[in-house]
């Protein structure tokens, strides 16, 4: 005879189910509010084909970084915070993706924009998560607002001319495969240690 699950285990499963329903509803609500339509992996298209909103933000290394700095390259912009659980799943996936695909011939960059109010919290999290790309600071969430989202993580792919190719709200496991396609990275294998990063979109 099977042992009955303990009350804490049942409660944990119920909480997980409730959270899954809530996060799905929340993502759909944001997607609807933005005027996008659902796609694979939670990709939304409210800004598709439109110029990406500009930004001028301080980086953890002391530089001021703007969108114009990346003209001529594709750019992945991700918004996150140290206290955001899904962000702590997305950033390691982006870190692995970046290390696998970003070499001397890569025609893209990634910037991560922290909306933490406390610079030290962003710096600690970036260090813990071994973020290999630029970490910018948006403590008042003004830049996040110009991109039209009110939930994180939120990720955008911008083409070489500064126009938004795609956007994603929330963390979707396996999103790196779609990201590789959007960046024109050929033969991307998330299980491999290296890929061909010389493709063009």
Question: Three-state SS string across the chain, please?
Answer: CCCCCCHHHHHHHHHHHHHHHHHHHHHHHHHHHHCCCCCHHHEECCCCCCECCCCEEEECCCCEEEHHHHCCCEEEEEEECCCCHHHHHHHHHHHHHHHHHCCCCCCEEEEEEECCCCHHHHHHHHHHCCCCCEEEECCCCHHHHHCCCCCCCEEEEECCCCEEEEEEECCCCCHHHHHHHHHCCCCCCCCCCCCCCCCCC
What single DSSP character describes residue 6? P
- Return the higher-pLDDT residue of 17 and 58: 58
Q: Where is average pLDDT lowest: 44-48, 86-90, 156-160?
A: 44-48
- How confident is the model over 38-63, as a mean pLDDT? 76
Does residue 154 contact residue 169 with C-beta atoms inside 8 Å? Answer: yes
Is the full-model pTM beyond 0.85?
Answer: no
Position 13 in a domain: no
Residues written for the chain: 201
CATH number at residue 45: 3.40.30.10
Position 101 in a domain: yes
Position 166 in a domain: yes
Position 61 in a domain: yes
Our measurement of the distance from residue 109's CA atom to the centroid of its chain's CA atoms, rounded to an integer in Å, reads 13
Our measurement of the distance from residue 40's CA atom to the centroid of its chain's CA atoms, rounded to an integer in Å, reads 15
Q: Which domain holds residue 95?
A: 37-183
Position 201 in a domain: no
- Structural domain total, the chain: 1
Position 152 in a domain: yes
Position 1 in a domain: no
Residues of the chain above pLDDT 90, percent: 55
Does residue 113 contact residue 156 with C-beta atoms inside 8 Å? Answer: no
Position 46 in a domain: yes
- Return the higher-pLDDT residue of 75 and 3: 75
Residue 56: which H helix or E strand, with range? strand 56-58
Structure tokens at 127: 């260090």
């Amino acid at each position: 005879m099977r042992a009955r699950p303990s009350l804490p285990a049942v409660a944990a499963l119920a909480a997980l189910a409730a959270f899954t329903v809530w996060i799905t509803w929340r993502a759909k609500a944001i997607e609807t509010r933005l005027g996008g339509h659902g796609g694979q992996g939670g990709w939304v298209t409210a800004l598709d084909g439109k110029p990406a909103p500009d930004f001028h933000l301080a980086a953890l290394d002391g530089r001021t970084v703007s969108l114009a700095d990346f003209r001529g390259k594709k750019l992945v912009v991700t918004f996150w915070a140290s206290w955001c659980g899904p962000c702590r799943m997305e950033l390691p996936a982006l870190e692995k993706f970046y290390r696998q695909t970003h070499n001397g011939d890569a025609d893209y960059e990634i910037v991560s924009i922290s909306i933490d109010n406390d610079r030290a919290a962003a710096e600690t999290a970036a260090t813990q998560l071994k973020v290999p790309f630029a970490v910018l600071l948006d403590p008042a969430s003004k830049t996040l607002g110009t991109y039209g989202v009110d939930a994180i993580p939120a990720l955008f792919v911008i083409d070489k001319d500064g126009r938004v190719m795609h956007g994603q709200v929330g963390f979707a496991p396996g999103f790196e495969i779609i990201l590789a396609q959007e960046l024109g990275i050929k033969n991307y294998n998330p299980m491999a240690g290296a890929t061909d990063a010389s493709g063009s979109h």
